[in-house]
Structure 1
Amino acid sequence: MGRVKISPISGFPEYLPAERIVEQHFLDVIRETFELHGFPSIETRAVEPVERLLGKGGDADKEIYAVSRLAAEDSAADAELGLHFDLTVPFARYVLENAGHLPFPFRRHQIQKVWRGERPQEGRYREFTQADIDVVDVGALAPHFEAEMPLVVAEVFRRLPIGPMVIQVNNRKIPEGFYLGLGIEDVTGTLRIVDKLDKIGPAKVADALVDAGCTEEQAARCLALAEIRSEDLSFVERVRALGVEHPILDEGLEALGAVIQAGLDNAPGAMVADLKIARGLDYYTGTVYETQLVGYESWGSFCSGGRYDSLASDGRTTYPGVGISIGVSRLLGLLLGKGLLKASRSTPACVLVAVNDEASRRSSTRVATALRGRGIPCEVAPAAAKFGKQIRYAERRGIPYVWFPGGGGSGDQVKDIRSGDQVDADGSTWSPPAEDLAPQIVRA
């Protein structure tokens, strides 16, 4: 029988153990922070009716993976299901189905895989993990929730070893009111063009706006608005100085001002008002967010979201909401791919319990059981080889301590194989330093 060649499938990342430790640390911090802010967890099914997926999200029809059974007699029925491409659309459906059992305003966090059939490239995958928080209410949603979302995310990023992140915030009502005040009727089309500013630059955006029917003066004013960025409330006067007036513009400036003020009060330096942020998806109606890693702005946004007023509706009742999503796989893919983060070891084990000989393995297992009972992760050596070989086994995995069970009347000893220090120890009392108990995530 010939050798079987296994080829990887692009866009479906799989981590080695040390990388997975970094990912699990990120997921733990994200979940703990979400729960610290009172967001309970839900999980929705992986599939939704294709019709529902097609109804939201712009170009989603190009990205949806259809689900079918190879042995199905009626494949048409299966083709009506698709894998969800984000967590917002299934969450909206979840709210509609369970509205009678949910307390409103309803807040939740959700950390799951999603799937998109786009072309794989650095930091973009076909299967990846997202971490979302949302708040929805019945009929109307209080505006203070729009300020809460970036505060939660700012705390997540403060607790992760990734350096400073900046949350760029805008309100869709600002460009909408501004464009209407300029006499531009196609607000959505204009937003989509301006949203490409970072990708194609101001000159090409101006040309595209003129091609779409704007005058050169209107295009220049649109670009002037998009250039406004401030870490404080000064953006309001800078917009006013452009001389455009409209009631919707007034609403947007007031709403964005409240969000930025909340950032100044609770997370100084974490937020910036950036009026070129538009978000391409049609369902955003108010505050919108994008997030960049300082010094790595060319990587784009790792965290985004916004306010939506009509994503969830059963025809009688509308459930407006606001949410923000962390692209966990995208962020980790770039941090790990560029070698910026690593785990201090590739195993959770802090101690390797050596085995004197196979006849005494039970004794080694009893030591390991005692250590685990006190919350100290450990494993028992796989073979009763010479102690030098057992130590090398620990070294290859980054396990800092090797435990030598006593024999012939002598007591147990534990060795720090990094320093060479070896001391008497008792499994019922010995503990490692706190920094050695679990793998540490370090910046390379």
Structure 2
Amino acid sequence: MSNPRPTKVTPLSGFPEYLPEQRIIEQHFLDVIRSTFELHGFPSIETRSVEPVERLLGKGGDADKEIYGIHRLADEGEGRPDAELGLHFDLTVPFARYVVENAGRLNFPFRRHQIQKVWRGERPQEGRYREFTQCDIDVVDVGELAPHFEAEMPLVMAEIFARLPIPEMVIQVNNRKIPEGFYRGLGIGAEDETEIQETLRIIDKLDKIGPDEVAALLVGAGRTPEQAQACLDLATIRTQDTSFVERVRDLGVAHPVLDEGLSALAAVIETGAAAAPGAMVADLRIARGLDYYTGTVYETQLVGYESWGSFCSGGRYDELASDGRNTYPGVGISIGLSRLLGLLLGKGLVGASRKTPSAVLVAVTDEGSRPASVAVATALRSRGIPCEVSPAAAKFGKQIRFAERRGIPFVWFPGAGEAGDQVKDIRSGDQVDAEASTWACPEDDLHPQVVRLEE
């Protein structure tokens, strides 16, 4: 018999695959996120992975999203139902479609959480992938959406961040009506509405190219030097309380839309300061989602790692979903989990206490006694203690090293004591008599611990 031909494996960039200890960290994050979403009354939904390409392009899809189209290899001709399908690049577009399709069966205001994979055909780099997991919450209503939901979104995220072993995160909040109203008050957009969007796009480059370059771009786009400076002055305002309102007023610009935005953002910041002090700041340079966000917008950064960009973002949208008779305004926020984990793992900022769920390795004296070891494992598992049986009846020292390499804290020795079994904490070396029907695993060792590490 000939030997099988060796297979060369070529890695695919942009499609992350985790080692077991990294997967333990990911699952911990998922558990915290999901349980917090549910604690706030957001039930789960899951949508299909594909949408018509026309919908993906028409509902917030930009050319740079590089949508992945799908087809069958055995496709025999054009005009098939699956000929123009693409993988969704976010969860907002499929959620908007889901709301319209199921509106008659949903109770409004409708809230949901959704944790799924999404795909974007962009150039892979640190923290950016072609396949990644997003964790979304949204609230949608019919016709009108109460503004208090805009304050609820960042509070849910602040609670999640407080429960995760990560550096401090700050949620930056703005309201799109503030820059829009401010620009209108300066005379920008009086004759051409596109001037407002153009100005927002240029201001959004502030972190990347700095104020001097932004001012030059604004003037080059037709703004006066005075208008350019005023736009920069607005964008530099950042406060942890509602003092941003007075600072904007001090700039001497007035417009009804500006008043609406200031009032709405002040309400969000006041709610955040009362419920989660320090978690939220008013940052008037945040623009986000120029295609569809219409009110409050959010971005989130790790303190000390601002160069990494935002891991959690969203905002209010009033016109994303419509069935021709009704509009479904909503507000949502999303955690880019794969992006966050990729950078945390890459910088060594988070770790797991072991590589396996097992808290106990049940040793095997010899293969003839394996059934006794399996019986011990069965008894432990029936009481919720994760464990595994040693794969080989090697010398006990070798079995202990097997446990050490995986971070398993306890090794169980059937029949090792005069009265029965013994269990050993291989970290301290303590070994005591134990019975599988009564032994209590320490709470901190029952499951792998995910902890924050120093870089």
TM-score, structure 2 as length reference: 0.96
Residue in 1 that maps onto 2:256: 247
Matched, 1:356 2:360: no
Output the amino acid matched with 1:17: P
Q: Is contact 1:401-1:417 (8 Å) kept?
A: yes
Residue in 1 that maps onto 2:161: 157
Match of 2:62 among 56, 59, 62: 59
Deviations 1:282-329 (A, max 9, x none): 100000000000110110000000000000001110000000000100
Output the amino acid matched with 2:153: M
Q: After superposition, where does 1:3-402 map in structure 2 within 5 Å?
A: 3-57=6-60, 59-60=62-63, 62-75=65-78, 77=80, 78-185=82-189, 186-402=195-411
TM superposition shift of 1:61? 5.8
Deviations 1:86-112 (A, max 9, x none): 000100000000001100000000000
Q: Is contact 1:285-1:309 (8 Å) kept?
A: yes
Q: Whole-Å Cα distance in 2 between the matches of residues 407 and 225 of structure 1?
A: 74
Q: After the TM superposition, which parts of structure 1 deviate over 6 Å for at least 4 consecutive aligned residues? A: none
Q: Is contact 2:64-2:122 (8 Å) kept?
A: no
Aligned residues: 444
Residue in 2 that maps onto 1:443: 452
Q: Is contact 2:50-2:87 (8 Å) kept?
A: yes
Q: Whole-Å Cα distance in 2 between the matches of residues 2 and 288 of structure 1?
A: 55
Q: After superposition, where does 1:405-420 map in structure 2 within 5 Å?
A: 405-406=414-415, 410-420=419-429
The alignment partner of 1:310 has SS state of: coil
Q: Whole-Å Cα distance in 2 between the matches of residues 433 and 387 of structure 1?
A: 23
Gap runs ≥5 in structure 1: none
Deviations 1:342-389 (A, max 9, x none): 101000000000111111111111111111111100001111111111
Q: Is contact 1:53-1:84 (8 Å) kept?
A: yes
Q: Is contact 2:360-2:408 (8 Å) kept?
A: yes
Q: 1:42 and 1:411, CA in 2 relative to 1: closer, same or farther beyond 3 A?
A: same
Q: Is contact 1:58-1:280 (8 Å) kept?
A: no
Report the aligned-residue RMSD.
1.2
Deviations 1:243-279 (A, max 9, x none): 1110000000000000000011100000000000000
Gap runs ≥5 in structure 2: 190-194
The alignment partner of 2:321 has SS state of: strand
Q: Is contact 1:171-1:255 (8 Å) kept?
A: yes
Q: Whole-Å Cα distance in 2 between the matches of residues 413 and 281 of structure 1?
A: 65
TM superposition shift of 1:14? 0.3
TM superposition shift of 1:408? 9.8
The alignment partner of 2:179 has SS state of: helix
Q: Whole-Å Cα distance in 2 between the matches of residues 346 and 359 of structure 1?
A: 29
Q: Whole-Å Cα distance in 2 between the matches of residues 60 and 276 of structure 1?
A: 24
The alignment partner of 2:142 has SS state of: coil
Once the two structures are aligned, what percentage of the paired residues are identical? 79
The alignment partner of 1:311 has SS state of: coil
Q: Is contact 1:54-1:61 (8 Å) kept?
A: no
- Select between 279-288 and 35-44 the one with higher mean Cα deviation: 279-288
Q: Whole-Å Cα distance in 2 between the matches of residues 308 and 214 of structure 1?
A: 28
Q: 1:424 and 1:313, CA in 2 relative to 1: closer, same or farther beyond 3 A?
A: same
The alignment partner of 2:167 has SS state of: coil
TM-score, structure 1 as length reference: 0.98
Q: Whole-Å Cα distance in 1 between the matches of residues 142 and 451 of structure 2?
A: 44
The alignment partner of 1:180 has SS state of: helix
